[in-house]
Structure 1
Amino acid sequence: MRVAIVENTRFTHHGQIGVALHEAGAMIDLYKPWDDGILPAPDSFDALVVMGGEQNARADETHPYLPTLAALMQRSAQSGKATLGVCLGCQILARGAGADNLIGTTPEHGWVQVSLTEAGQADPVLGHLPQSFDIFEWHSDTFTPPPGAVVLARNDTALQSYRIGRAGYATQFHFEASTAVVAEWASSFGDMMEAQNPGFVAARPALAATIGKRADANGLAIARAWVALI
Protein backbone atom coordinates (compact mmCIF):
# COMPACT_ATOMS: atom_id res chain seq x y z
CA MET A 1 0.00 0.00 0.00
CA ARG A 2 1.16 3.53 -0.79
CA VAL A 3 0.23 6.17 1.78
CA ALA A 4 0.59 9.92 1.28
CA ILE A 5 1.20 11.85 4.50
CA VAL A 6 0.75 15.61 4.35
CA GLU A 7 2.62 17.52 7.06
CA ASN A 8 1.38 21.03 7.84
CA THR A 9 4.24 22.22 10.02
CA ARG A 10 8.00 21.82 10.37
CA PHE A 11 7.78 19.67 13.53
CA THR A 12 5.50 16.71 12.81
CA HIS A 13 5.45 13.40 14.68
CA HIS A 14 3.53 10.53 13.08
CA GLY A 15 3.49 8.72 16.43
CA GLN A 16 1.00 5.88 16.68
CA ILE A 17 -0.07 6.33 13.05
CA GLY A 18 3.51 5.72 11.99
CA VAL A 19 3.70 2.61 14.17
CA ALA A 20 0.57 1.13 12.58
CA LEU A 21 1.69 1.98 9.04
CA HIS A 22 5.12 0.42 9.69
CA GLU A 23 3.47 -2.75 11.02
CA ALA A 24 1.43 -2.96 7.81
CA GLY A 25 4.49 -2.49 5.60
CA ALA A 26 3.17 0.70 4.02
CA MET A 27 5.19 2.70 1.51
CA ILE A 28 5.03 6.32 2.68
CA ASP A 29 5.32 9.45 0.56
CA LEU A 30 5.82 12.64 2.61
CA TYR A 31 4.51 16.03 1.49
CA LYS A 32 5.42 19.34 3.12
CA PRO A 33 3.22 21.95 1.40
CA TRP A 34 3.92 24.55 4.09
CA ASP A 35 7.42 24.64 2.58
CA ASP A 36 6.95 24.07 -1.15
CA GLY A 37 3.17 24.05 -1.83
CA ILE A 38 3.31 20.55 -3.34
CA LEU A 39 0.40 18.17 -2.63
CA PRO A 40 -0.12 14.55 -3.72
CA ALA A 41 -1.87 13.89 -7.01
CA PRO A 42 -5.32 12.35 -6.46
CA ASP A 43 -4.37 9.07 -8.17
CA SER A 44 -0.96 8.69 -6.50
CA PHE A 45 -1.97 7.05 -3.21
CA ASP A 46 -4.03 4.26 -1.69
CA ALA A 47 -4.57 6.26 1.51
CA LEU A 48 -4.19 9.89 2.55
CA VAL A 49 -3.17 11.20 5.99
CA VAL A 50 -3.21 14.92 6.85
CA MET A 51 -1.55 15.89 10.11
CA GLY A 52 -1.83 18.87 12.48
CA GLY A 53 -0.24 22.29 12.51
CA GLU A 54 -0.25 25.63 14.27
CA GLN A 55 -2.17 27.48 11.53
CA ASN A 56 -5.95 27.40 11.26
CA ALA A 57 -7.91 25.74 8.47
CA ARG A 58 -8.78 29.10 6.84
CA ALA A 59 -5.27 30.60 6.89
CA ASP A 60 -5.14 30.91 3.11
CA GLU A 61 -3.05 34.08 3.08
CA THR A 62 -0.11 32.40 4.83
CA HIS A 63 -0.80 28.85 3.61
CA PRO A 64 -2.33 29.17 0.12
CA TYR A 65 -2.43 25.41 -0.45
CA LEU A 66 -5.23 24.93 2.12
CA PRO A 67 -8.26 25.22 -0.24
CA THR A 68 -6.74 22.68 -2.62
CA LEU A 69 -5.92 20.32 0.25
CA ALA A 70 -9.46 20.62 1.62
CA ALA A 71 -10.90 19.68 -1.77
CA LEU A 72 -8.42 16.81 -2.17
CA MET A 73 -9.36 15.36 1.23
CA GLN A 74 -13.07 15.61 0.51
CA ARG A 75 -12.75 13.92 -2.90
CA SER A 76 -10.60 11.18 -1.40
CA ALA A 77 -13.04 10.50 1.44
CA GLN A 78 -16.08 10.56 -0.84
CA SER A 79 -14.42 8.15 -3.25
CA GLY A 80 -14.09 5.55 -0.51
CA LYS A 81 -10.31 5.78 -0.14
CA ALA A 82 -8.95 5.56 3.38
CA THR A 83 -8.53 9.21 4.36
CA LEU A 84 -7.48 10.55 7.75
CA GLY A 85 -7.35 14.06 9.17
CA VAL A 86 -5.88 14.73 12.61
CA CYS A 87 -6.51 18.01 14.48
CA LEU A 88 -5.83 20.63 11.78
CA GLY A 89 -6.33 17.85 9.24
CA CYS A 90 -9.74 17.19 10.77
CA GLN A 91 -10.60 20.88 10.45
CA ILE A 92 -9.38 21.02 6.83
CA LEU A 93 -11.54 18.04 5.86
CA ALA A 94 -14.50 19.71 7.60
CA ARG A 95 -13.85 22.77 5.43
CA GLY A 96 -13.75 20.65 2.28
CA ALA A 97 -17.02 18.99 3.26
CA GLY A 98 -18.80 22.34 3.63
CA ALA A 99 -18.64 22.92 7.39
CA ASP A 100 -17.95 26.26 9.05
CA ASN A 101 -14.57 26.58 10.77
CA LEU A 102 -14.83 28.31 14.16
CA ILE A 103 -11.47 29.87 14.93
CA GLY A 104 -10.19 30.26 18.49
CA THR A 105 -13.45 29.21 20.14
CA THR A 106 -12.53 25.94 21.88
CA PRO A 107 -9.09 25.84 23.52
CA GLU A 108 -8.37 22.35 24.85
CA HIS A 109 -5.06 20.85 25.93
CA GLY A 110 -3.86 17.74 27.71
CA TRP A 111 -5.16 14.24 28.30
CA VAL A 112 -8.93 14.36 28.46
CA GLN A 113 -11.92 12.08 28.07
CA VAL A 114 -13.91 11.83 24.85
CA SER A 115 -17.24 10.01 24.51
CA LEU A 116 -18.49 7.97 21.57
CA THR A 117 -21.87 8.70 20.06
CA GLU A 118 -24.24 5.83 19.31
CA ALA A 119 -22.84 5.76 15.77
CA GLY A 120 -19.32 5.81 17.18
CA GLN A 121 -19.99 2.78 19.32
CA ALA A 122 -20.95 0.85 16.18
CA ASP A 123 -18.07 2.21 14.08
CA PRO A 124 -15.38 -0.20 12.77
CA VAL A 125 -12.51 2.09 13.82
CA LEU A 126 -13.71 3.64 17.09
CA GLY A 127 -16.34 1.16 18.20
CA HIS A 128 -13.95 -1.17 20.00
CA LEU A 129 -12.95 1.61 22.45
CA PRO A 130 -14.72 2.24 25.76
CA GLN A 131 -17.73 4.52 25.44
CA SER A 132 -15.66 7.18 27.20
CA PHE A 133 -11.92 7.00 26.56
CA ASP A 134 -8.73 8.93 27.35
CA ILE A 135 -6.83 10.71 24.59
CA PHE A 136 -4.57 13.74 24.05
CA GLU A 137 -5.81 17.14 22.85
CA TRP A 138 -4.14 20.34 21.69
CA HIS A 139 -6.28 22.76 19.73
CA SER A 140 -8.08 26.10 19.84
CA ASP A 141 -10.42 25.80 16.85
CA THR A 142 -13.47 23.71 16.02
CA PHE A 143 -16.10 23.41 13.28
CA THR A 144 -19.77 22.76 12.67
CA PRO A 145 -20.81 19.20 11.80
CA PRO A 146 -19.91 18.61 8.14
CA PRO A 147 -22.99 18.02 5.98
CA GLY A 148 -23.54 14.31 5.45
CA ALA A 149 -20.86 13.25 7.92
CA VAL A 150 -21.47 10.70 10.68
CA VAL A 151 -20.54 12.18 14.07
CA LEU A 152 -18.58 9.56 16.02
CA ALA A 153 -17.35 11.28 19.19
CA ARG A 154 -17.79 14.44 21.26
CA ASN A 155 -16.97 15.92 24.62
CA ASP A 156 -18.13 19.05 26.42
CA THR A 157 -15.59 21.16 24.51
CA ALA A 158 -15.95 20.19 20.87
CA LEU A 159 -17.04 17.75 18.20
CA GLN A 160 -14.21 15.24 18.34
CA SER A 161 -14.56 12.80 15.45
CA TYR A 162 -16.61 12.15 12.34
CA ARG A 163 -16.64 9.86 9.31
CA ILE A 164 -17.29 10.64 5.66
CA GLY A 165 -18.08 7.70 3.41
CA ARG A 166 -16.54 4.28 3.97
CA ALA A 167 -13.17 5.23 5.38
CA GLY A 168 -12.87 9.02 5.60
CA TYR A 169 -12.03 9.63 9.28
CA ALA A 170 -11.28 12.83 11.14
CA THR A 171 -10.30 13.31 14.77
CA GLN A 172 -9.95 16.59 16.60
CA PHE A 173 -7.92 14.76 19.24
CA HIS A 174 -4.29 13.75 18.70
CA PHE A 175 -4.56 9.97 18.91
CA GLU A 176 -1.12 9.76 17.28
CA ALA A 177 0.42 11.56 20.27
CA SER A 178 1.94 8.83 22.42
CA THR A 179 3.46 9.74 25.78
CA ALA A 180 6.84 9.88 24.02
CA VAL A 181 5.49 12.40 21.50
CA VAL A 182 3.92 14.48 24.26
CA ALA A 183 7.24 14.47 26.13
CA GLU A 184 9.00 15.79 23.03
CA TRP A 185 6.35 18.48 22.59
CA ALA A 186 6.74 19.51 26.22
CA SER A 187 10.51 19.78 25.74
CA SER A 188 10.26 21.79 22.52
CA PHE A 189 7.06 23.79 23.08
CA GLY A 190 6.68 23.88 26.84
CA ASP A 191 6.01 27.62 26.87
CA MET A 192 3.13 27.20 24.43
CA MET A 193 1.68 24.37 26.51
CA GLU A 194 1.92 26.41 29.68
CA ALA A 195 0.21 29.37 28.05
CA GLN A 196 -2.81 27.21 27.22
CA ASN A 197 -2.71 24.80 30.17
CA PRO A 198 -0.76 26.24 33.13
CA GLY A 199 0.99 23.58 35.22
CA PHE A 200 0.88 20.89 32.55
CA VAL A 201 4.63 20.62 31.99
CA ALA A 202 5.31 19.90 35.66
CA ALA A 203 2.35 17.53 35.94
CA ARG A 204 3.10 15.70 32.69
CA PRO A 205 5.30 12.84 34.03
CA ALA A 206 2.71 11.74 36.60
CA LEU A 207 -0.13 12.11 34.11
CA ALA A 208 1.82 10.16 31.48
CA ALA A 209 2.22 7.25 33.88
CA THR A 210 -1.54 6.97 34.42
CA ILE A 211 -3.96 8.51 31.94
CA GLY A 212 -1.19 8.73 29.34
CA LYS A 213 -0.72 4.96 29.31
CA ARG A 214 -4.43 4.46 28.66
CA ALA A 215 -4.34 7.08 25.91
CA ASP A 216 -1.37 5.31 24.31
CA ALA A 217 -3.33 2.08 24.06
CA ASN A 218 -6.40 3.86 22.72
CA GLY A 219 -4.41 5.77 20.12
CA LEU A 220 -2.60 2.72 18.78
CA ALA A 221 -5.88 0.79 18.59
CA ILE A 222 -7.42 3.60 16.52
CA ALA A 223 -4.40 3.75 14.23
CA ARG A 224 -4.36 0.00 13.62
CA ALA A 225 -8.10 -0.12 12.95
CA TRP A 226 -7.91 2.72 10.43
CA VAL A 227 -4.89 1.24 8.64
CA ALA A 228 -6.83 -2.03 8.32
CA LEU A 229 -9.37 -0.17 6.14
CA ILE A 230 -6.75 0.69 3.50
Structure 2
Amino acid sequence: MRVAIVENTKVTEAGQVGIALAEAGAEIITIRAYAGEPLPEFGAHDALVVFGGEQNARDDEKHPYLPALASLMRRFGDSDKAVLGICLGSQLLARAYGGDNLIGAAPEFGWRSIGRTEAGKEDPVLSTMPDRFLSFQWHDDTFTLPQGSLHLAENEAARHQAFRIGRAAYGFQFHFEANREVVRNWMTHFPEVIERKEPGWLNRHPEIEPTDGQLSDEAGLELARAWVRQIRPS
Protein backbone atom coordinates (compact mmCIF):
# COMPACT_ATOMS: atom_id res chain seq x y z
CA MET A 1 0.00 0.00 0.00
CA ARG A 2 1.13 3.54 -0.77
CA VAL A 3 0.37 6.20 1.83
CA ALA A 4 0.94 9.93 1.40
CA ILE A 5 1.79 11.91 4.53
CA VAL A 6 1.40 15.68 4.39
CA GLU A 7 3.44 17.73 6.88
CA ASN A 8 2.28 21.23 7.77
CA THR A 9 5.17 22.29 9.99
CA LYS A 10 8.91 21.63 10.23
CA VAL A 11 8.81 19.62 13.46
CA THR A 12 6.50 16.77 12.44
CA GLU A 13 6.82 13.17 13.55
CA ALA A 14 4.63 10.24 12.59
CA GLY A 15 5.00 8.54 15.98
CA GLN A 16 2.47 5.77 16.54
CA VAL A 17 1.01 6.23 13.06
CA GLY A 18 4.44 5.65 11.55
CA ILE A 19 4.90 2.52 13.65
CA ALA A 20 1.56 1.09 12.53
CA LEU A 21 2.25 1.87 8.88
CA ALA A 22 5.68 0.23 9.11
CA GLU A 23 4.12 -2.87 10.68
CA ALA A 24 1.75 -3.08 7.70
CA GLY A 25 4.59 -2.75 5.20
CA ALA A 26 3.29 0.52 3.79
CA GLU A 27 5.29 2.57 1.32
CA ILE A 28 5.27 6.10 2.73
CA ILE A 29 5.65 9.24 0.65
CA THR A 30 6.17 12.38 2.74
CA ILE A 31 5.23 15.80 1.37
CA ARG A 32 6.43 18.94 3.17
CA ALA A 33 3.55 21.13 2.09
CA TYR A 34 4.61 23.92 4.47
CA ALA A 35 7.88 24.17 2.49
CA GLY A 36 6.15 24.45 -0.87
CA GLU A 37 6.37 20.85 -2.02
CA PRO A 38 3.48 19.87 -4.33
CA LEU A 39 0.57 17.99 -2.82
CA PRO A 40 0.36 14.26 -3.54
CA GLU A 41 -1.34 12.96 -6.65
CA PHE A 42 -4.70 11.38 -5.89
CA GLY A 43 -4.35 8.34 -8.09
CA ALA A 44 -0.89 7.38 -6.85
CA HIS A 45 -1.84 6.69 -3.22
CA ASP A 46 -4.16 4.39 -1.33
CA ALA A 47 -4.49 6.64 1.74
CA LEU A 48 -3.76 10.16 2.93
CA VAL A 49 -2.48 11.35 6.32
CA VAL A 50 -2.49 15.05 7.22
CA PHE A 51 -0.71 16.03 10.43
CA GLY A 52 -0.89 19.17 12.56
CA GLY A 53 0.73 22.58 12.46
CA GLU A 54 0.78 25.92 14.19
CA GLN A 55 -1.44 27.56 11.57
CA ASN A 56 -5.23 27.46 11.68
CA ALA A 57 -7.33 25.72 9.05
CA ARG A 58 -8.42 29.04 7.48
CA ASP A 59 -4.97 30.64 7.30
CA ASP A 60 -5.05 30.71 3.50
CA GLU A 61 -3.22 34.02 3.17
CA LYS A 62 -0.06 32.73 4.83
CA HIS A 63 -0.48 29.15 3.66
CA PRO A 64 -2.16 29.28 0.24
CA TYR A 65 -2.04 25.51 -0.25
CA LEU A 66 -4.64 24.87 2.48
CA PRO A 67 -7.76 25.06 0.26
CA ALA A 68 -6.23 22.60 -2.20
CA LEU A 69 -5.26 20.27 0.64
CA ALA A 70 -8.79 20.36 2.05
CA SER A 71 -10.16 19.56 -1.41
CA LEU A 72 -7.72 16.68 -1.78
CA MET A 73 -8.80 15.23 1.57
CA ARG A 74 -12.39 15.35 0.40
CA ARG A 75 -11.53 13.70 -2.90
CA PHE A 76 -9.89 10.82 -1.03
CA GLY A 77 -12.85 10.57 1.34
CA ASP A 78 -15.46 10.70 -1.41
CA SER A 79 -13.62 7.87 -3.18
CA ASP A 80 -13.74 5.68 -0.05
CA LYS A 81 -9.99 5.88 0.37
CA ALA A 82 -8.75 6.07 3.95
CA VAL A 83 -8.03 9.57 5.26
CA LEU A 84 -6.48 10.51 8.60
CA GLY A 85 -6.46 14.12 9.76
CA ILE A 86 -4.86 14.87 13.12
CA CYS A 87 -5.26 18.24 14.90
CA LEU A 88 -4.96 20.76 12.03
CA GLY A 89 -5.66 17.81 9.74
CA SER A 90 -8.99 17.18 11.48
CA GLN A 91 -9.88 20.85 11.19
CA LEU A 92 -9.07 20.79 7.48
CA LEU A 93 -11.20 17.67 7.01
CA ALA A 94 -14.09 19.40 8.75
CA ARG A 95 -13.56 22.40 6.46
CA ALA A 96 -13.47 20.16 3.41
CA TYR A 97 -16.93 18.81 4.19
CA GLY A 98 -18.56 22.12 5.11
CA GLY A 99 -17.87 22.35 8.85
CA ASP A 100 -17.00 25.66 10.50
CA ASN A 101 -13.55 26.26 11.97
CA LEU A 102 -13.76 27.90 15.39
CA ILE A 103 -10.45 29.69 15.90
CA GLY A 104 -9.17 29.91 19.48
CA ALA A 105 -12.38 28.44 20.89
CA ALA A 106 -10.99 25.33 22.62
CA PRO A 107 -7.47 25.59 24.08
CA GLU A 108 -6.17 22.31 25.49
CA PHE A 109 -2.74 20.88 26.30
CA GLY A 110 -1.23 17.74 27.78
CA TRP A 111 -2.42 14.19 28.37
CA ARG A 112 -6.18 14.42 28.73
CA SER A 113 -9.07 12.04 29.11
CA ILE A 114 -11.33 11.45 26.10
CA GLY A 115 -14.63 9.62 25.97
CA ARG A 116 -16.23 7.62 23.18
CA THR A 117 -19.71 8.49 22.02
CA GLU A 118 -22.33 5.85 21.27
CA ALA A 119 -21.34 6.08 17.59
CA GLY A 120 -17.71 5.65 18.61
CA LYS A 121 -18.50 2.35 20.30
CA GLU A 122 -19.68 0.98 16.95
CA ASP A 123 -16.95 2.52 14.80
CA PRO A 124 -14.27 0.26 13.26
CA VAL A 125 -11.46 2.40 14.74
CA LEU A 126 -12.85 3.84 17.99
CA SER A 127 -14.36 0.49 18.98
CA THR A 128 -10.82 -0.62 19.85
CA MET A 129 -10.78 1.90 22.73
CA PRO A 130 -12.32 1.70 26.20
CA ASP A 131 -15.11 4.16 26.97
CA ARG A 132 -12.49 6.59 28.30
CA PHE A 133 -8.84 6.75 27.32
CA LEU A 134 -5.88 9.13 27.43
CA SER A 135 -4.23 10.97 24.56
CA PHE A 136 -2.06 14.04 24.06
CA GLN A 137 -3.67 17.38 23.27
CA TRP A 138 -2.17 20.54 21.83
CA HIS A 139 -4.63 22.85 20.14
CA ASP A 140 -6.51 26.11 20.40
CA ASP A 141 -9.07 25.67 17.63
CA THR A 142 -12.01 23.37 17.11
CA PHE A 143 -14.74 22.83 14.51
CA THR A 144 -18.37 22.04 13.97
CA LEU A 145 -19.22 18.61 12.67
CA PRO A 146 -19.83 18.38 8.93
CA GLN A 147 -23.32 17.36 7.88
CA GLY A 148 -23.56 13.58 7.59
CA SER A 149 -20.53 12.85 9.76
CA LEU A 150 -20.47 10.57 12.80
CA HIS A 151 -19.36 12.06 16.13
CA LEU A 152 -16.99 9.50 17.67
CA ALA A 153 -15.27 11.04 20.71
CA GLU A 154 -15.49 14.05 23.01
CA ASN A 155 -14.31 15.64 26.23
CA GLU A 156 -15.09 18.69 28.34
CA ALA A 157 -12.60 21.00 26.61
CA ALA A 158 -13.54 20.24 23.01
CA ARG A 159 -16.72 18.33 22.29
CA HIS A 160 -15.68 17.29 18.81
CA GLN A 161 -12.58 15.19 19.44
CA ALA A 162 -13.09 12.69 16.62
CA PHE A 163 -15.42 12.13 13.70
CA ARG A 164 -15.78 9.99 10.62
CA ILE A 165 -17.37 10.85 7.32
CA GLY A 166 -18.01 8.23 4.67
CA ARG A 167 -16.30 4.89 4.89
CA ALA A 168 -12.92 5.82 6.33
CA ALA A 169 -12.26 9.58 6.41
CA TYR A 170 -11.31 10.28 10.03
CA GLY A 171 -10.61 13.51 11.86
CA PHE A 172 -8.93 13.37 15.28
CA GLN A 173 -8.48 16.57 17.25
CA PHE A 174 -6.10 14.84 19.67
CA HIS A 175 -2.53 13.79 18.89
CA PHE A 176 -2.74 10.04 19.26
CA GLU A 177 0.39 9.79 17.11
CA ALA A 178 2.39 11.62 19.79
CA ASN A 179 4.10 8.96 21.86
CA ARG A 180 6.39 9.85 24.74
CA GLU A 181 9.39 10.26 22.46
CA VAL A 182 7.49 12.70 20.26
CA VAL A 183 6.32 14.68 23.29
CA ARG A 184 9.86 14.91 24.63
CA ASN A 185 11.02 16.19 21.25
CA TRP A 186 8.32 18.87 21.30
CA MET A 187 9.51 19.87 24.76
CA THR A 188 13.04 20.31 23.40
CA HIS A 189 11.92 22.45 20.46
CA PHE A 190 9.16 24.51 22.09
CA PRO A 191 9.78 24.94 25.84
CA GLU A 192 8.79 28.61 25.92
CA VAL A 193 5.59 27.98 23.96
CA ILE A 194 4.63 25.11 26.27
CA GLU A 195 5.31 27.14 29.42
CA ARG A 196 3.09 29.94 28.15
CA LYS A 197 0.34 27.54 27.19
CA GLU A 198 0.39 25.39 30.35
CA PRO A 199 2.50 27.01 33.08
CA GLY A 200 4.31 24.45 35.23
CA TRP A 201 3.63 21.50 32.93
CA LEU A 202 7.30 21.05 32.02
CA ASN A 203 8.16 20.67 35.70
CA ARG A 204 5.33 18.16 36.22
CA HIS A 205 6.23 16.14 33.14
CA PRO A 206 8.64 13.68 34.85
CA GLU A 207 5.92 12.69 37.31
CA ILE A 208 3.10 12.18 34.81
CA GLU A 209 4.96 10.72 31.83
CA PRO A 210 5.40 7.20 33.30
CA THR A 211 1.67 6.87 33.93
CA ASP A 212 -0.29 9.10 31.56
CA GLY A 213 2.32 8.85 28.83
CA GLN A 214 2.37 5.07 28.92
CA LEU A 215 -1.42 4.80 28.75
CA SER A 216 -1.55 7.32 25.94
CA ASP A 217 1.09 5.43 23.96
CA GLU A 218 -0.89 2.20 24.26
CA ALA A 219 -4.13 3.83 23.17
CA GLY A 220 -2.43 5.69 20.32
CA LEU A 221 -0.88 2.56 18.84
CA GLU A 222 -4.21 0.73 18.97
CA LEU A 223 -5.93 3.62 17.20
CA ALA A 224 -3.18 3.81 14.60
CA ARG A 225 -3.32 0.09 13.88
CA ALA A 226 -7.12 0.20 13.62
CA TRP A 227 -6.99 3.09 11.14
CA VAL A 228 -4.31 1.38 9.03
CA ARG A 229 -6.62 -1.63 8.76
CA GLN A 230 -9.10 0.63 6.94
CA ILE A 231 -6.66 1.15 4.04
CA ARG A 232 -7.58 -0.74 0.91
CA PRO A 233 -4.50 -1.31 -1.22
CA SER A 234 -5.14 -0.83 -4.93
Number of the residue aligned with 2:182: 181
Give 1:98's aligned amino acid.
Answer: G
Number of the residue aligned with 1:190: 191
Number of the residue aligned with 1:214: 215
SS in 2 for 1:156: coil
Specify every segment of 5 or more residues in structure 1 that has no aligned partner in the other structure, as ranges: none
Number of the residue aligned with 1:90: 90
Alpha-carbon separation, structure 1, partners of 2:201 and 2:119: 33
Alpha-carbon separation, structure 2, partners of 1:132 and 1:142: 20
Q: Is 1:65 aligned to 2:79, yes or no?
A: no
Alpha-carbon separation, structure 2, partners of 1:126 and 1:187: 31
Identical positions, percent: 53
Q: CA deviation at 1:37?
A: 4.6
| 1:124-139 correspondence to structure 2 within 5 Å | 124-139=124-139
Q: Is 1:109 aligned to 2:109, yes or no?
A: yes
Number of the residue aligned with 1:75: 75
Number of the residue aligned with 2:206: 205
Q: Is 1:6 aligned to 2:32, yes or no?
A: no
Q: Is 1:225 aligned to 2:233, yes or no?
A: no
Whether the 8 Å contact between 1:111 and 1:212 is mirrored in structure 2 is yes
Q: CA deviation at 1:206?
A: 1.4
Q: Is 1:38 aligned to 2:38, yes or no?
A: yes
Query: CA offsets, 1:27-78, max 9 Å, x none?
Result: 0111111111510111110000000000000000010000010011012112
Alpha-carbon separation, structure 2, partners of 1:135 and 1:61: 31
Give 1:211's aligned amino acid.
Answer: D
Query: CA offsets, 1:141-200, max 9 Å, x none?
Result: 001111111010011111100001111111000000001110111111111111111111
Alpha-carbon separation, structure 1, partners of 2:206 and 2:174: 20
Give 1:107's aligned amino acid.
Answer: P
Whether the 8 Å contact between 2:114 and 2:132 is mirrored in structure 1 is yes
Q: TM-score, normalised by structure 2?
A: 0.97
Number of the residue aligned with 1:169: 170
Q: Is 1:147 aligned to 2:125, yes or no?
A: no
Give 1:202's aligned amino acid.
Answer: N
Alpha-carbon separation, structure 2, partners of 1:71 and 1:58: 13
> 4+ residue runs of structure 1 moved beyond 6 angstroms?
none
SS in 1 for 2:112: strand
Number of the residue aligned with 1:16: 16
Give 1:199's aligned amino acid.
Answer: G
SS in 2 for 1:166: coil
More displaced stretch, 106-115 vs 183-192: 183-192
Give 1:68's aligned amino acid.
Answer: A
Give 2:120's aligned amino acid.
Answer: G
SS in 1 for 2:128: coil
Q: Is 1:52 aligned to 2:52, yes or no?
A: yes
Give 2:91's aligned amino acid.
Answer: Q
Give 1:83's aligned amino acid.
Answer: V
SS in 2 for 1:127: helix
Specify every segment of 5 or more residues in structure 2 that has no aligned partner in the other structure, as ranges: none
Report the RMSD for the aligned CA atoms in angstroms.
0.7
Query: CA offsets, 1:2-47, max 9 Å, x none?
Result: 0000000011010000000011111011111111151011111000
